[in-house]
Amino acid sequence: MVEIKVLDVPVILPNGYECERCVNRLRGSLLEVYGVKSVKLDPSLAKLTLEYDPNLVTLEAVERRAREIGVELEEKIVHHTMPLAGMDCPDCAVKIERAVTNLPGVLSVQVSFPASRMLIEYDPNLTSPSEVARRLRALGYAAAEAEKPKEVSIFWQKNKLWISTAASGAALAAGLVASHLGASETAVRLCLAFSIVVGAYYMARSAVASLVAATFDTNFLMLLAAVGAVAIGQWTEGAMVVFLFSLGNTLEVYTTNRTRDSIRSLMRLSPETALVLKNGTEVQVSASQVAVGDIVLVKPGARIPVDGKVTNGSSVVDQSPITGESVPAEKGPGDEVFAGSINLSGALQVEVQKPAGETTLARIIHLVEEAQAKKAPVQRFTERFGRIYTPAVISTAVFLGVVVPFAFGGSFEVWFTRSLTLLVVACPCALVISTPVAVAAAIARAARMGVLVKGGAVLEHLAVLRVAAFDKTGTLTLGRPSVADVVSFGELSDLEVLRLAASVERLSEHPIAEAVVSAAKARGLKLEEPSRFRVQPGRGAMAEINGTNFLVGSRRYMEEQLVDVSPADSVLKRWQSAGWTAALVASDNRLIGAVAVSDTVRPEAKPALNALKDAGFHRMVMLTGDEDEVAASVARELGLDEYRSRLLPEQKVDVVNSLVKQHGRALMVGDGVNDAPALAAATVGMAMGAVGTDAALETADVALMSDDLMRIPQVVQLSRQALKIIKQNIAFSFTVVIFLVVTTLVSGLRLSLGVLGHEGSALLVILNGMRLLNWTPRS
């Protein structure tokens, strides 16, 4: 006999981090328990679904083992995002990954050159951030958070590559002019040697670090080419190689820094100081020192420094930096405000609800930085290709420069020069950078739209999706239901039916329950205190009031409780034709009344769905727990041909799994909290209105900061444009490399021209990817 059980396990993953490796570790450890047949894990909800044989193992034993493993993972695994300084080429990322991975206790490393970030997973008992920082220093890099430059060196840090390149170029120009004017060979070579030494300083540092890491990066190959040219007396070629590579490298760093700055600009949204009210006096303090519970004064025109709730004053607030919404929102007592938004009119007093480091803006920045560091499948492919391709190029160059002249009698100088040129032109620098720069730019652009996309893999999936499922309540509708009608089926008045229904539902968090309670309070009705409250998710609730048992819920729920619902047939039919949802009310299993609740379709829902149809989405399904007639009414209004009604949360997961099985991939759009299991089951889970909602930010693959459904087709457009640019970059990179290699082998190519072609192609690939920073959605 096999039973299936769902366990609620609060401690599974380190710091709530959704790490695939940690999930697999937990799953693997539980499968080792004798009697456990299968394990499914939803990390977003910290829930385990187990198939086990109760004759071989008890549920308590399995749960205890799950908690033990969770605690073990919590103690043994740390996930850390580390800003990096000193990376000046895509090869630097590969070099750092290999070197840091070799440290004891390091389980996983991902480095993004465009984002200048490292995601590291390690055992704190075996290594530490300081040990990682030491390894980085040995490679010539720095952990930016650990080694911040002093103010006096900021100018040098920002401009050292420009200065080095300018000095190299000036010395090269002086050498060329001196040669043209007939100066001595010694003078000319001194100028060229100075050009090489100055221009190759950072190149040489990186080349030495690549040898330490047992890799051959672009810097090493370029340095080898320059030294080889000098060795055979081609000083001018050697200096040209160094200068052109230094210039190209400097331009690449400058352009990729623009991508990084697009995220850094988010950091500048939050002011560094705040006005805290202490005993009626305004005290200016650092925003990082503001504590939860403090009252902060925000004057008109100022940026709000904290996440909190308005306690006094009213104003209009521009939330576009956080949510992407173009229309400012009115704020008054009880309303939430977010750090980084702008107070446009009246003064506000805000009670701080989150520390500075945990604001919505801070979390968005952190998640975007993590997303930029996560590699897309295409990027992983190009890196794997590079690891095989680069050694092959070096071997071919050695064959050309050493074997061919002696074995086939060719000119040593000619073939040696060709081998050096081959090292330069065949280096896959443009190919390696083709994907990460486009992914980083697209994620940064999405963040400025108020959409958080969690990584390149999500971006790639979004670009090819053609099937979607949408939750109804709160997603396609406004999610703020209101009471439309109340009917009594006995001697009680309509208001008494509403009062009793609200008394039962006052402990429920369901949107319909909240609507019933709000309607009762708005009519000034006095609610009773319920006891023995129980809720059946997706069905209804029951509670005892003054010794009498009351039920409130759907028709199905009443029928399950053996309540005769026939007195409500005509009323329910009328409400259903209007698209209203009915909450039936029963006392001691006798129907006493019903409350009709209506929800309004979002005004932008139909245009958004039409835009998705135009974008090639051929199947879109609405999912709801409402009755069939209500679902049909909303589907008709939205122009949807397909819907599923009367669904429980786990049944929504089944529908999403079915869509994925039928079509290979599917999008699920929901609220990120109640729909978390369905979001996790989809290829891409997208959460609406994630601003201020920690659960939505954590669980969704894509989080919409606002409730604007038009952001969905827009982010799909953006992902497709990103994938198009990635394909352009890869095709262009291959074409240029093939052309330069063939030209080098067949007719010979000047070394300096080879460098120009190599650096030019890499720069064009970066500039093409950066176009996404200025992308605008089609209307």
Residues 773, 448: contact at Cβ < 8 Å?
Answer: no
Residue 137 lies in a domain: yes
What are the residues whose beta carbons fall under 8 Å from the beta carbon of 169, sequence distance 6 or more?
A: 195, 199, 243, 247
Domain boundary among 719, 751, 772: 719
What is the rounded distance in angstroms from the CA atom of residue 566 to the CA atom of residue 571?
10
Residues 363, 294: contact at Cβ < 8 Å?
Answer: no
List, as own/partner pairs, every contact residues 172-180 make where C-beta atoms lie below 8 angstroms and the sequence separation is at least 24, other chains included: 172/239, 172/240, 172/243, 175/235, 175/236, 175/239, 176/236, 179/236
What is the rounded distance in angstroms from the CA atom of residue 265 to the CA atom of residue 263?
5
Do 451 and 487 sit in the same domain of this protein? no
Do 630 and 580 sit in the same domain of this protein? no
Residue 399 lies in a domain: no
pLDDT confidence of residue 148: 44
Do 575 and 514 sit in the same domain of this protein? yes
Closest CA to 179 of 239, 228, 222, 226: 239
The three-class DSSP label of residue 489 is: coil
Residue whose structure tokens are 């891409």: 684
What is the rounded distance in angstroms from the CA atom of residue 457 to the CA atom of residue 442?
12
In the predicted model, residues of the chain with pLDDT beneath 70 are 1-27, 29, 32, 34, 40-50, 52-77, 88-90, 114, 144-158, 210, 212-217, 252, 255-268, 321, 323-327, 367, 369-380, 382-384, 386-387, 672-674, 690-699, 779
> Quick one: which H or E segment has residue 266?
helix 235-267
What are the residues whose beta carbons fall under 8 Å from the beta carbon of 226, sequence distance 6 or more?
A: 196, 200, 238, 239, 241, 242
Do 470 and 499 sit in the same domain of this protein? no
pLDDT confidence of residue 15: 45
The three-class DSSP label of residue 644 is: strand
The tokens for 499 are: 């009062």
Closest CA to 435 of 733, 774, 221, 96: 733
Q: Are strands 273-278 and 142-143 parallel, antiparallel or unpaired?
A: unpaired
Q: Is the dihedral of CA 357, 363, 369, 373 positive or negative?
A: positive
Residue 506 lies in a domain: yes
What is the rounded distance in angstroms from the CA atom of residue 324 to the CA atom of residue 503?
39
pLDDT confidence of residue 499: 93
Residues 306, 339: contact at Cβ < 8 Å?
Answer: yes
pLDDT confidence of residue 149: 41
Residue 490 belongs to a domain with what CATH number?
Answer: 3.40.1110.10
Residues 244, 752: contact at Cβ < 8 Å?
Answer: yes
Do 287 and 347 sit in the same domain of this protein? yes
How many helical (H) and strand (E) elements, i.e. helices and strands, does the chain have?
A: 28, 29
Tens-digit pLDDT profile for residues 665-710: 999 998 765 677 788 788 998 988 755 455 556 667 888 888 889 9
What is the rounded distance in angstroms from the CA atom of residue 655 to the CA atom of residue 337?
37
pLDDT confidence of residue 180: 84
| DSSP code per residue over 367-387 | HHHHHHHSPPHHHHHHHHHHH
What is the rounded distance in angstroms from the CA atom of residue 223 to the CA atom of residue 207?
7
Residue 368 lies in a domain: no
Residue 568 lies in a domain: yes
Phi, psi at 134, each rounded to 5°:
-65, -40
Do 286 and 335 sit in the same domain of this protein? yes
Do 496 and 590 sit in the same domain of this protein? yes
**Amino acid letter at 284?**
Q
Phi-psi region of 652 (alpha: psi -120 to 50; beta: other; left: phi over 0): alpha
Round to the nearest angstrom and report the end-to-end CA distance of the chain. 58
Phi, psi at 268, each rounded to 5°:
-80, -5
Domain boundary among 343, 358, 373: 358
Residue 390 lies in a domain: no
What is the rounded distance in angstroms from the CA atom of residue 504 to the CA atom of residue 493?
17
Residues 342, 317: contact at Cβ < 8 Å?
Answer: yes
Do 453 and 505 sit in the same domain of this protein? no
What is the rounded distance in angstroms from the CA atom of residue 70 to the CA atom of residue 50?
16
Residue whose structure tokens are 């396609």: 476
Give the rounded distance of the alpha carbon of 441 from its chain centre: 13
Residues 672, 655: contact at Cβ < 8 Å?
Answer: no
In whole angstroms, how far apart are CA 733 and each of 265, 333, 429, 431, 518? 31, 57, 9, 5, 62
Q: How many domains does the chain have?
A: 5
* Sheet bearing 142-143, strands edge to edge: 106-112, 117-122, 78-85, 142-143
CA angle, 747 then 750 then 752, to 5°: 155
Read off the DSSP letter of residue 477: B
Do 54 and 121 sit in the same domain of this protein? no
Do 54 and 95 sit in the same domain of this protein? no
Tens-digit pLDDT profile for residues 398-454: 888 888 888 777 778 888 888 888 877 887 777 777 888 888 889 888 888 888 888
What is the rounded distance in angstroms from the CA atom of residue 693 to the CA atom of residue 32?
36
Residues 384, 193: contact at Cβ < 8 Å?
Answer: no
Residue 629 lies in a domain: yes
Residue 306 lies in a domain: yes
pLDDT confidence of residue 659: 95
Residue 20 belongs to a domain with what CATH number?
Answer: 3.30.70.100
Read off the DSSP letter of residue 777: -
| DSSP code per residue over 490-519 | SSS-HHHHHHHHHHHHTT--SHHHHHHHHH
Please give the model's pTM, rounded to 2 decimal places: 0.67
Do 566 and 627 sit in the same domain of this protein? no
The three-class DSSP label of residue 243 is: helix
Domain boundary among 114, 130, 149: 149
Phi, psi at 551, each rounded to 5°:
-120, 140
Residue whose structure tokens are 């008992």: 125
* Helices marked H in 523-580: 555-560, 569-577
Structural domain including 298 reads 276-358
Tens-digit pLDDT profile for residues 489-526: 988 999 999 999 999 998 887 778 888 999 999 999 99
Do 487 and 534 sit in the same domain of this protein? yes
Assign 3-state DSSP to the chain and report helix, strand, coil percentages, each to 5: 55, 20, 30
Q: Would you please indicate which residues are annotated as catalytic (active-site) residues?
A: 471
Strand partners, 581: 597
Residue 303 belongs to a domain with what CATH number?
Answer: 2.70.150.10
Closest CA to 464 of 684, 286, 644, 645: 684
Q: How big is the chain, counted in residues?
A: 779
